[in-house]
Structure 1
Amino acid sequence: MNMPSGEEPDVLSRIRKFNASLDALIRIYTSGKSSSTEFARIVTKEASSLLNAQRCSAWSLTPDNKAIDCVALYLANEDTHVSGLKLSADDFPGYFKAFLAERVIAANDAETDPRTSEFAATYLRANHIVSMLDAQIRSAAGPRGVVCIETVDVRRAWSPDEMAFAASIAELLGISMDREDRGRVFGQLEDINQQLSDAVEKTRVANERYDLAIDAAYDGVWDLDYVTGQVYFSDQNFQLLGESHEHPPTEFDWWQDRVHPEDIDGVLEYYEKLVQDDNPYNVTYRMRHEDGSWRWWRSRGKVVRSDTCEPIRIVGTNSDVTDLIETKTELEQRNRELLIAKQNVEHAALHDSLTGLPNRRYMEQVSAENLQQKLGKDRAASFLHIDLDHFKDVNDMLGHAAGDTVLCLVADMLRELSGEGDFIARIGGDEFVAILQDLPTAERSIAFSEKLITQLSKPVFVERRSVNIGVSIGIALSEGHVNDASNLLRNADNALYQAKRSGKNTFAIYNEKMRIQAARLRATKEEIQGALEDGISFIPYFQPQFLAGSLELAGAEALVRWQHPRKGILPPGEFLHIAEEMNCVAEIDRQVLRKSLAIVSDWREAGLVLPRLSVNVSSQRLADPGLLFSVEGFEDQVSRLSFELVESTYLDNTSEQVKQTLAQLQDLGVEMEIDDFGSGYASIASLVNIRPKRLKIDRTLVSNVDRDDAMTSLVQSIVDIARALEVEVIAEGAETASQIETLTSIGCDILQGYGLARPMSAEMFLETYGMQETASVASQR
């Protein structure tokens, strides 16, 4: 059974409801009145209500990542919470691997989804659970648990805004857990501090009692005759040093020879002052024990004077205070360690654990006054919002470890470029902020941006692989004074968007026009979100492909179009770059692929057998293991399906996950094409590794192929290489009869371009080619 994924038919209203709920939850969190467990109960009940899910739970991951403990499971039918459940990675290894690797698991059919199917026998069927939406609870230190949203007896097709809401509440729970951990650490540190304070106080009291005991019993008594220099030492003095004497020494040298060389001068100086000033004698120093060790002694005494005030004797006591000194030293060391621990906790709360830079929280806590104090009087400030251009491709194709390496390299570059008084922060993902001392003309921020762009325009080497990144920068000026930091960052963000629209790897300075553009962008993003929700707005158009020479229909390429309610049919150039920012290109790919396969199936029933369907596949989709399930239900068409790998820039550095996905697709019968060949960095070695069925020559090479001999030779060389590797060649962008003739003569197998046919709707394609003979039909004669 299928049903709409939310109660509200209006997508924007539902999104506003989600946002209002998140605002309310954030207010509850910031009030600080709820523990993480209480907060989890509030969140799970709210999520159950908003998502119309009968079960919603929050689970905490054990430190060894081997199990999850149920913090709160809300049962809507009973309006109650339960806890105490535990799931082990040994019992459900596939699920643990999935939720630790993916931020969101949307299992519309939990029993068949490979990420959740392990639960079928023991959990799903027992509780009548049909669909699951799980989001990873994550903190700065890594995964902390998972939020599980489950429907009973009803199958749900989870929408992107529901997935985003699940991810948002999971993030809130992670922040809540972090705060409670920090509070627990601070509490433990305060307990230790109190214990240390109590120990110091007890030591002080014990010391006073010890002093009183010494005054009464004397550990070691000594009596110096000031006139003769002879000294009486009681036996206790010798016992303190592990000595025994049949005839106890009476010379002053016995004592002096045993004082530590580093202490003797200070002790004798103190002794002289005692005689001169008549102050009480109280000094601590080290004495050599018979076993070679050093013991701490405290000597106290007073001068006995004659009637004429001349010193005649000095009497006193010696005490072994080694334990006391060592305890004091240990307490001082523990106090230092406590201070360092507090500083580390405070630093971790305000800094990015990967790069060591201040984090978003730190930046938001920096007030306007503090910024002005940092920058100095009569100094302007500029906010730079910095975003890496192709960072997601690095993560998708090379893995998160490579991405982390790139982030650290960029952080080091920013540190080197910044000066005294500047503020650099990483505010999330591949985003950084630089707050610079500047002049009203923005000279510093422009120079800063140009240097960073120059550095990141060069290939970056990660794990002995060359990676091309690039950076876009938005600049906002404070116009002579530091005003609200959030407004400046918002302006810099608008400028960043303009920089990306200008072709990336550049910078833009904020102006008022950008505010209007930003408002339009927000509206467009909401419309794209709505289009994804309704599932019907993104549709495929089909551009025919023809056999060179005979010009028989050889196939078609599916190209996405947006069926906009007001603007009509929009090409990808109008919206795809915005979808990339929203990280929803993979979902658009998925919808277009499923619709294309369904249309081709309908054509077959109508009598048109398409020889081959080519579909663009983004790097996001290549890195998604769920790509394999996208052809489910269309097994009869798989042998006629071809995926175009559009990110040829990274084919030489493809991750093992992507290679495995490609191999599995090829095993199913899906063919591979390398798109835009000749425009990027794909090497001939990549043709061997990927084993494509065909490659598509980039239109920039085709445009002058009939007028430029060098270009003709270049295209001929590509065709020759393809022939040697038994790879077919498609020439894209054939616009004129002359180009078509040249491309045919040099051996291209298939032609595509406006000179032959433009992209068209499914209905027009069937009407145009439904009665024509295709290459596949001709080949059967």
Structure 2
Amino acid sequence: MKISFTSLTFKTLSLLFMSSIIFIIFIVVIAKESFFQGYTYLIKEDLSSIEEKISPDIAMNLSYGLTSDLKRIATAQLKHKKILLLKIDSVTLEKPMLFSKKNKSIQELKDEGHFVSTKVIYDPATKNELGKTTIIYSNESYKTYMQNFYKWFIGGVSIFGLAIALLGFLLYNSLKRLSVLASSFERFNPNRPKDFHFNVQTNDEIGTINRSANIMVQKLTKYIDNTQKLNDTILQKEAHLKEAQRIAKVGSWEYNVIDGSLLLSDEVYRILGVKFGTAITWKDFLDFISKDDYDNVVKVIEDAIKHGSKFNIKYALILKSKNEIYVQTRGKVRKKAGGMVRITAVSMDITNDIKNKKTIEKLAYYDSLTGLANRTLLKDRMHKAIQYAKREQTNLAVMFLDLDHFKLINDTLGHSVGDDMLIHIAEILKIHIRESDTLSRLGGDEFVILLPSVKSIFDAQNIASKIQHTLQSKHDIGDHQLYITSSIGVSLYPDHGDNSEELIRNADTAMYEAKNSGRNNYRIYSQSMGNYVDQQLHLEQDLIQAVKHKAGIEVFYQAKIDSENNFISGAEALARWRHPTNGLIFPDQFIHIAESTGLMIELGNIIIEESIFQLQEWNKLGLVGLKIAINLSARQFQDPNLVSFISSMLHNYQVSPSQVEFEITETLSMTNMTNTLRILTELKAIGVSIAIDDFGTGHSSLAYLKKFPINTLKIDRSFVLDIIEDDDDKTIVQTIVSMAHSLGFNTVAEGVETLEHVALLKTMGCDQLQGYYFSKPIPKDEFTKFIQDYMPNK
């Protein structure tokens, strides 16, 4: 063990030995003097006792001059083994009396160290001084005493020195083990705490310290293990926190307002799109904020610093890549007494939330197909527009637009084409409205246009007219060239309602009035129209019951006349609905309901079966040779069981297929020509005839007409009615007849109402005539009588 002057071992041993030396010197000096004084005191006591004893006798003998008695007294005293000399001096004696055991003078005895005592003798009677006595007391006992003292003292000091040496040795060994303990502590490796251990060899205090040290090391080892686990947990949680921040797109940062230092977490760097570790100052940090939000963000933070408050702000950042993201920052300003001011905050990337919010808002307020306002947004804007109009005493108009026969496009070309058509129509409508107007789609092919601050109803009429004119043109939708018209209803605030629901409902009613007036026009709402929507709802429910129970659905027949021989060649079967309260209802009032509610196939099948059954009845009556034309709707063309149903009806009622003809509109035939050709081919295969109805109003391609298995073209009544006065209509009809004959088709003219019509059409070579001139559509019993009573030469 290395011992230095500053070590505890050196200091302890040095103090021990120095204390021992001082103690020994103290004992030698103090003890010797103490023993000397004590022994001297005893001798003086003894001498005083002797002097007290002999002084009276000597005083008496001196006063009487009795020298012999003095001698006797002195001789007696010399018998005391420690009295070496007795001398008596007195004025009464001629010379001093000296009595001695040794032939030595008083001075010599003094020099040898013997004790000397002198006492004055007084006369007992007069108290006068008579003389004095001198006694020399031997010091032999003192020397013997002191020799014994030194002998025991040296022995004691020797034993004390050995004890001190032993104690020093023990202290040295003990302190040496403490030094070993200290050296072991110096070699302690916290990374390998289990390698540290003290060998406990004794049960003394040092052993206790070693055991305590081992216990301490064990606890320290356990603490280090726990600390290591805690550090691992902290590191793991820190990694999880970083990962959580990355997943949640939340970063933390701290800004020291006083020294300008800025600390950013890893996720903040990722949010900013900056390489981790790049030096970013507070100014750089703020420069990421978009110009629109910069002033507000800086003001919020400055106010928070001023008041030591919290803040919560949302703003946009423009990254180095020029991309724009949105963040939400929550922070708190911390102020301390020393003047330190810090901002601690977390910033979350809420770009997706903002986008989702906009998406949700778009879904909530905008039509997903066209991007137009939906019903919710429309009502909100109408409410605001009505409030403004009420406050400013102005008008507003609501236009309800519905596409005519749009369902036909969906049923024949599919919903994807229908959707494209709606998107296309929406773009057209946008052109015709003002920036302050709202164009919305309520669903299907229904559009509503809000026109705030209109001066009069003429503004809405002008817009409606322009829209209808534009929609009548050709529309290229994918590979298809489509034509479509619209029906528009208009209501005006405050004349036709004071809230959004009433204005929309009345515009809807006006739109249905436009449809009932032949479509492709607009109508202004009036109270006389009634609540058409409610009427339609009741009709819809009643029609469902009528079709379900086959009650009230009838077939009327309108005769066709052979133009050359004037006989009844057949008839067109026309549906009628005999309503229990409303009376007879015509197809234009309920067919569209059947189409919209999905009743068209079932209703169509009722008409087909009833018509074929009636043919059987007429055949039984001998009225043979009649051909009944039955209309097929677009929805029936989507029925996969159509052809098989017709075939089964012909078989069940034993009717020849040559007696049945099916009419399809020109628009239907051209909408989905592939499907049309397939169905017509299957119908042709079972032996029935095919006719194109309302020919001339659509946009047929002659190339496709030539491919279709068609037997007859029916010329639309709109051309026939004015052929007498209108040369253009006359030319059109003549052209259709000539073209049909060139293609091998028969022709039927609808709308024949006068004798002049009959004569001119016969001249043109039209094969069959149909119209009110001969007969309006009538029930089966009336038609039976009409056939029986008909005069061919009429």
Output the amino acid matched with 1:597: I
Q: Which residue of 2 aligns with 1:634?
A: 650
Give, in whole Å, the separation in 1 of the partners of 2:554 and 2:529. Answer: 31
Deviation, structure 1 residue 355: 0.8
Instruction: Please say if 1:761 is aligned against 2:779.
Output: yes
Report the CA distance shift for 1:363/1:671 in structure 2 as closer, same or farther (over 3 A).
Answer: same
C-alpha distance in 2, partners of 1:628/1:773?
Answer: 37
Structure 1 equivalent of residue 9 of structure 2: none
Q: 1:630 to 1:362 in 2, by over 3 A?
A: farther
Measure how far apart 1:657 and its partner are. 2.7
Q: Contact 2:680–2:709 at 8 Å: present in 1 too? A: no
1:732-768, Cα deviation, whole Å (9 max, x unpaired): 3444555445544543333334444444332344455
Q: What is the Cα deviation at residue 199 of structure 1? A: 6.4
User: Does structure 1 residue 466 correspond to structure 2 residue 481?
Assistant: yes
The one of 654, 657, 667 aligned to 1:649: 667
Q: Choose the corresponding residue for 1:515, options 508, 512, 530.
A: 530
When residues 641 and 396 of structure 1 are mapped into structure 2, their CA distance, relative to the original with a 3 A threshold, is farther
Unaligned stretches of 5+ residues in structure 1:
1-191, 208-213, 215-240, 242-257, 268-326, 775-781
1:431 to 418, 429, 446: 446
- In structure 2, do the counterparts of structure 1 residues 433 and 773 end up closer, same or farther at CA, with 3 Å as the change threshold? closer
Cα deviation digits, residues 254-296 of structure 1 (max 9, x gap):
xxxx998x989989xxxxxxxxxxxxxxxxxxxxxxxxxxxxx
1:420-439: per-residue Cα shift (whole Å, max 9, x none)?
44332211001112222123
Which letter does structure 2 place at the counterpart of 1:539? E
1:603 corresponds to which of 596, 618, 642: 618
Task: Report if aligned partners of 2:386, 2:498 keep a CA contact under 8 Å in 1.
Answer: no
**1:695 aligned to 2:713?**
yes
TM-score, scaled relative to structure 2: 0.51
User: What is the correspondence of 1:405-444 to structure 2 with a 5 Å cutoff?
Assistant: 405-439=420-454, 441-444=456-459
Instruction: Confirm or deny that 1:342 pairs with 2:360.
Output: no
Aligned residue in 1 for 2:467: 452
CA contact (8 A) 1:368 1:483 kept: no
Please give the alpha-carbon distance, in whole angstroms, between the structure 2 residues aligned to 1:468 and 1:721.
Answer: 23
Spell out the pairing of 1:274-673 with structure 2 (5 A cutoff).
332=348, 334-364=349-379, 368=383, 372=387, 378-439=393-454, 441-479=456-494, 483-515=498-530, 520-566=535-581, 569-572=584-587, 576=591, 584-631=599-646, 632-635=648-651, 636-637=654-655, 639-673=657-691
- Within 2, Cα distance between the matches of 1:691 and 1:628? 15
Residues 77-133 of structure 1 deviation map (CA, whole Å, 9 limit, x = unaligned): xxxxxxxxxxxxxxxxxxxxxxxxxxxxxxxxxxxxxxxxxxxxxxxxxxxxxxxxx
Cα 1:649–1:487 shift into 2, 3 Å: same
Report % sequence identity: 29
Q: What are the superposed Cα offsets for residues 436-465 of structure 1, whole Å, 9 maximum, x if unpaired?
A: 212362454334323322321322222253
Instruction: Indicate how the Cα distance of structure 1 residues 265 and 426 shifts in structure 2: closer, same or farther if over 3 A, else same.
Output: closer
Distance 1:385 1:349 in 2: 21
The structure having more radius of gyration, on CA atoms, is: 2
Tell me the distance in 2 between the aligned counterparts of 1:370 and 1:194.
50
Contact 1:615/1:643 (8 A) holds in 2? yes
SS of 1:401's partner is helix
Letter in 2 for 1:634: L
Amino acid at match of 1:698: D
In 2, the alpha carbon distance for the partners of 1:710 and 1:471 equals: 26
How far apart are 1:539 and its partner, in Å?
Answer: 1.1
Closer/same/farther in 2, CA of residues 678 and 193 from structure 1, 3 Å limit: farther
Check conservation: 2:552, 2:577, Cα contact below 8 A. yes
Q: Which residue identity does 2:744 align to in structure 1?
A: E
Q: Deviation digits for residues 693-713 of structure 1, max 9, x if unmatched?
A: 121233344456678887666
1:591 deviates by: 1.8
- Is this contact kept in 1: 2:489–2:508, CA < 8 A? yes
Q: How does 1:153-232 map to 2 (within 5 A)?
A: 196=245
Conserved in 2, the CA contact under 8 Å of 1:557 and 1:615? yes
1:22-56 CA-to-partner distances (Å, cap 9, x unmatched) read xxxxxxxxxxxxxxxxxxxxxxxxxxxxxxxxxxx
Does the CA contact (< 8 Å) of 2:561 and 2:769 recur in 1? yes
CA distance in 2 between counterparts of 1:481 and 1:570 reads 29
Q: What SS class does the counterpart of residue 530 from structure 2 fall into?
A: helix
Equivalent residue letter for 1:667: A
| 1:379 Cα deviation after fit | 4.7
Change (3 A) 1:481 1:515: closer
* Residue of 703, 722, 725 corresponding to 1:685: 703
1:734–1:753 Cα contact (<8 Å) kept: yes
- Counterpart among 694, 705, 716 of residue 676 in structure 1: 694
What residue identity is the alignment partner of 1:677?
A: F
Query: Which SS does the other structure have where 1:357 is aligned?
Result: coil
C-alpha distance in structure 2 between counterparts of 1:447 and 1:543, whole Å: 41
Distance 2:580 2:456 in 1: 44
Give distance in 2, aligned partners of 1:442 and 1:656.
45
User: 5+ residue gaps in structure 2?
Assistant: 1-240, 257-262, 264-274, 286-344
Contact 1:540 1:595 in 2 (8 A): yes
Report if the CA contact (8 A) 1:383-1:492 is conserved.
yes
Distance of aligned partners of 1:198 and 1:552 in 2 relative to their CA distance in 1, 3 Å threshold: closer
Give how far 1:770 is off: 6.8
The higher relative CO (CA closer than 8 Å, separation ≥ 6) is in 1
Q: Is the 8 A contact 1:646 1:675 kept in 2?
A: yes
Evaluate the alpha carbon distance shift between residue 573 and residue 627 of structure 1 in structure 2; reply closer, same or farther with a 3 A threshold.
same
**Structure-1 separation of matches of 2:510 and 2:728:** 41
Q: Is the 8 A contact 1:652 1:682 kept in 2?
A: yes
> 1:721 maps to which residue?
739
Structure 2 matches for 1:40-189, cutoff 5 A? none
Secondary structure of the residue aligned to 1:726 is: coil
- Which residue type is aligned with residue 617 of structure 2? D
Matched, 1:751 2:769: yes
SS of aligned partner of 1:477? strand
Post-superposition offset of 1:648: 1.3
The TM-score with structure 1 as length reference comes to 0.52
Deviation at 1:615, TM superposition (A): 0.7
**What per-residue deviation string (whole Å, max 9, x for no partner) do you get for residues 410-429 of structure 1?**
22233333334433221100
CA separation in 1, counterparts of 2:630 and 2:496? 53
Q: What is the CA RMSD across the aligned residues, in angstroms? A: 4.6
Deviation at 1:658, TM superposition (A): 3.0
SS across alignment from 1:394: helix
**Partner of 1:382: helix, strand, or coil?**
strand
